[in-house]
Amino acid sequence: MVNLKINGIAVSVPEGSTIMQAAKLANVRIPTLCYLKDVQCVGSCRMCLVEATGARGLVAACVYPVSDGMEVRTNTPRVRKARRTTLELILSTHKKKCLSCVRSMNCELQKLALEYNAEEDRYGTDHDLKPIDDLSASVVRDNSKCIMCTRCVAACNNQTIGAIGPKNRGYAKVIGSPYDVSLAFTPCVNCGQCVVACPVGALYEKSAVADVWGAIVDPDKEVVFYTAPSVRATLGEAFGLPVGTNVEGKMVTAIKQLGDVKCFNMDVTADLTIMEEATELLARLEKGGTTPMFTSCCPGWVKFLEHYYPEFIPNLSTCKSPQEMFSALLKTYYCEKNNIDPEKLYVVSVIPCTAKKFEISREELGGYTDAALTTRELAKMIKEAGIDFANLEDGEFDSPFGIASGAGAIFGATGGVMEAALRTAAFKLGGKGAPVEFTEVRGIEGVKEADYTVGGATVKVAVASGLGNARKILDAIKSGDKEYTFVEVMACPGGCINGGGQPYVHDEVRNNVELKTLRAQALYDSDSDNVFRCSHASPVVDTIYEEYFGSPNSHKAHELLHTTYSKRDKY
């Protein structure tokens, strides 16, 4: 252990720790713009400069190692002046459209500029407005607001995609795609991890808010919303509620106050996905089909496989994602049951994921979803409508798609799809005495493995979150080093609870709070409180099969709930 003082506060930290880590133990806040836990640590933004004994000049706290007896000062006049100058230089090349920016009042640069009394025009405004790249179905890039922190590049590289990177040198340096092409024409998988890493408004989702408002006031449209499992665990953060607060009831009430709309629970089609997927897995095992079978709920993961590992396409489950299953169900079963013209039903999904915006454009999925709103976009609509979210009474999802199982709820956490599928597969193999909880696949680790023996059958499973970890598993399968029966992959580290469409969280929170763990716990609590713990126990799912599909993997189910995939070029 190394003993030192931070602003006079004595702390003891393991050898090799940085000043930033020591400051955290001392409850001393040091500002950053480039550093982001689990994303990058490069010391390039110079906002975390501090004075330290034994050092020549100011040092970057995020990378500078501590030494025994060191004394660190984080708030001297010299330090504050250096930070203010850095901010003013950044502002001199930044497009300052703060009032209309998507990050207004939630921008890390704006917050620091206010704290350090930075003059936005001390060094003038010396930049050329760069064209906005909005050709992607999911992500918009405005390089005129980029501050060159390179968090987005690190996030993309951590995903092993590399769709964006630094180009040129010095003052001419910019972040862009190879050959200056739009993100739409790169192997970007639309995961949005670059968006949630960006501290300013240089990256944001392609908004569907205006289209949804238009549909709500259109007398010829009947509008229905349905919300993904993880949204209830994160939406409250946009309104100042603690991380991990389950706001399901308030969320439903808020959506219904947006206009004359219905609100359904996407957990229903998470259950439906499990019924189809578990049946498909058992059929592959019985008939000698392609294994290991991969989950297909995550559109970012599916696109990644189509670009980089097309030889594994036969391993993907043919099930559509819960989003696409729900929209197909609404435009067919729901419309037929209620004598609604499908052309007049406007279907809005609320999702934690920017990749879902791309997914609704895939022709092979049938075009059933009219709009996909991120959690951030829903929060924006609620605020625009003047709704006092924090003080809302709890509402209930509308019938007939309001009741779902706890297995559907945990879909939003890494390992949740696997556990939900195992619950139903175990029941089909082992009967009523089969286990309900499979805790080995829980947790935010990037790769998890487990072996289960149920009903005389041994199932080897693996779970990956983050595409870098998915690549490790795929390469291990290709080399023959690993053999699995069933593999779950989610593109975003931690799963949907950490999706690219979730509320913006300042670095000082992301660096010090276990976001993924707290958000996931809200879903597991929802599961444990549910009367129905397994997808096959859901009365709503039973009704859907009795009235419409007959049985899982039936011909009709394959027509509406299953799809195909195809190889994509990298460029």
Catalytic member of 364, 384, 546, 547: 364
Q: Name the CA dihedral angle for 274, 276, 281, 282, rounded to a multiple of 10 degrees.
A: 100
Is 34 a residue of the active site? Answer: no
What does DSSP assign to residue 474?
H
Catalytic member of 276, 280, 377, 488: 280
Q: Considering only CA atoms, which of 144, 201, 205, 214 is closest in space to residue 176?
A: 144
Unique residue bearing structure tokens 């990956």: 464
Q: Considering only CA atoms, which of 418, 541, 561 is closest in space to residue 488?
A: 418
Q: Considering only CA atoms, which of 43, 372, 408, 13 is closest in space to residue 230?
A: 408
CA distance 499 to 179: 28
Long-range contacts of 78-86 (CB under 8 A, 24+ apart): 78/51, 79/49, 79/50, 79/51, 80/116, 82/46, 82/49, 82/58, 83/31, 83/46, 83/47, 83/49, 83/112, 83/116, 84/116, 84/117, 84/118, 86/45, 86/46, 86/47, 86/49
Is 483 a residue of the active site? Answer: no
Give the pairing type, strands 447-454 and 293-294. unpaired
Is 359 a residue of the active site? Answer: yes
Q: What is the CA radius of gyration of the chain?
A: 25
How many other C-beta atoms lie within 10 A of the C-beta of residue 569?
Answer: 9
Catalytic member of 298, 496, 526, 535: 496
- Please, what is the end-to-end C-alpha distance for the chain in angstroms? 50
What does DSSP assign to residue 130?
P
In this structure, what token pair is assigned to residue 280?
């498909």
CB 268 within 8 A of CB 408: yes
Catalytic member of 205, 237, 277, 488: 277
Catalytic member of 152, 194, 297, 319: 297
Cite the DSSP H helix spans in 137-208: 151-158, 193-197
CB 304 within 8 A of CB 160: no
CA angle 371–402–264, rounded 5-degree value? 10
Is 356 a residue of the active site? Answer: yes
- Rounded (10°) angle between helices 322-329 and 267-287: 110
Strands (E), 31-173: 49-52, 59-60, 71-73, 132-133, 139-142, 165-167
Residues in the chain: 571
Is 98 a residue of the active site? Answer: no
Is 364 a residue of the active site? Answer: yes
Catalytic member of 144, 317, 465, 538: 317
In this structure, what token pair is assigned to residue 20?
């930033």
Catalytic member of 359, 377, 419, 488: 359
Contacts of 424 (CB under 8 A, 6+ apart): 274, 275, 278, 407, 534, 535, 536
Contacts of 260 (CB under 8 A, 6+ apart): 216, 223
Strand partners, 265: 227
Residues with active-site annotation: 277, 280, 297, 317, 356, 359, 364, 496
